[in-house]
Amino acid sequence: MRLLPRIHDVYVGRAVLATVLLVWAVLLGLDVMLSFVGEFKDVGKGRYGAMQAMTYIALTAPRRAHYLFPYAAVIGALMALGQLAASSELTALRALGLSRRRLGIAVAGAIALLTGLMVINGETLGPWGQRSADALKASAKSDNMIVAQYSGIWAREGDVILNAQGGQERDDGTDRWLELRDVRLYEFADDGRLESMALARTAEHRPGAWLLRDVTRTVFQPRAVSRTQIAEERWASKLDATALTAGTDKPRYLAGNELRNAIDYRKRNGLDASEFEEHYWGKWFYALNVLALCLAAVPFAFGQLRSGGTGKRLFTGIVFALGFWLLQSQFVKLASVFKFDYRLAYLAPTLIMLATSAVLFRRRSG
């Protein structure tokens, strides 16, 4: 079988590309519109206005496109093949001796072009846009300087520098607050000398202040150093929870090299790196997942090409392919709980899906 593209490969590939791009544009447009509406809850806070919200959404568009592409690829490929089947063009191509395998390769080749672009986007424009958007939103909503890296959350307010290894939003049904863990507060004098350092197990944000728990405070005097233990201490600060939450880099938004550095850092310091490993290996398997999804769904576009039920076959194919994400997500969660290799968690569902697709290819008659 010749692997070089021929005129029928180009024809099928062009139909697939056009439909995938159309579906992709619709999905991205809906996601952008809904996200923009969701931003209005923050409009009016600080200097964050409608123009800043539009800029924020525009900067996050590459990351959104990267996330939505697998869905667009599956739906678009099946719609394109369904359209060709409905117009009897697939029947004509099969009558000319074109095999289902060759048609599958034509579809995979077209999808591979866009997948390659999305892999590059996921390592460059996507993370840069998300980081720029988060920085813009944080600076517009708060005057405090926020910097977040894989080493934790860093923030400065006046002469005090805060560092926390992580944090999460909590609520009890009636109240919602931000809680930071493993918090360090460094207070400097006007001449740059370190005056004191406080280590707190947790810090909870309350109106106008932070509530520090299990605090060890060390005070550096010219000729002595004193240390005190405090069960609970109130730190009056204007450093707001919104700015800290917005300034935190989420692992799923980081580029591959940043995730690799984060994993190395955390392992060197005895910290849990599982969340970073999950997204790191997810990036490695991104392209394989997209192609597996499309190849697994393609058999549903064939069936009995002269018979009816095209819409039913396409719906079944989409549900079958998108069910792959649910299966893989469950494997990934199991890897997190039982601490086995994430590469196995990503690879096993892909192999299952490709094996099922191969069986369907053999069973479907043309």
Task: Convert the pLDDT of each residue in 280-317 to its tens digit.
Answer: 999 999 998 898 888 777 777 665 444 445 566 667 76
Look up residue 94 and give its two tokens.
Answer: 């099969």
pLDDT over 90, % of the chain: 30
Tell me: the pLDDT tens digits for 245-264? Answer: 544 567 888 888 888 887 88
Mean pLDDT of the chain: 82
How many C-beta neighbours within 10 Å does residue 283 have? 18
Of the pLDDT bands very low, low, confident and very high (cuts 50, 70, 90), residue 318 is: confident
DSSP-based three-state secondary structure for 187: strand
**Which of 123, 70, 348 is closest to 257 using CA atoms?**
123
Question: Do residues 76 and 87 touch, judged by C-beta distance below 8 A?
Answer: no
Phi, psi dihedrals of residue 147, rounded to the nearest 5°: -135, 125
DSSP-based three-state secondary structure for 215: strand
**What is the DSSP secondary structure assignment for residue 301, as one 8-state letter?**
G
- Whole-prediction pTM value? 0.72
HSE-CB for 223 with a 13 A CA cutoff: 0
Q: What is the mean pLDDT of residues 230-250?
A: 72
DSSP-based three-state secondary structure for 220: strand
How many angstroms separate the CA atoms of 248 and 266, rounded? Answer: 16
Phi, psi dihedrals of residue 233, rounded to the nearest 5°: -140, 140
Asked if pLDDT for residue 366 goes beyond 50, the answer is: no
Cα angle, residue 359 at apex, residues 353 and 362 outer, rounded to 5°: 140
Neighbouring residues of 117: CB distance < 8 A, sequence distance ≥ 6: none
> What distance lies between CA 352 and its chain's CA centroid?
24
DSSP-based three-state secondary structure for 200: strand
Q: What is the mean pLDDT of residues 155-184?
A: 80
**Which of 308, 303, 275, 291 is closest to 360 using CA atoms?**
303
How many C-beta neighbours within 10 Å does residue 140 have? 21
How many C-beta neighbours within 10 Å does residue 330 have? 12
Question: Do residues 232 and 251 touch, judged by C-beta distance below 8 A?
Answer: no
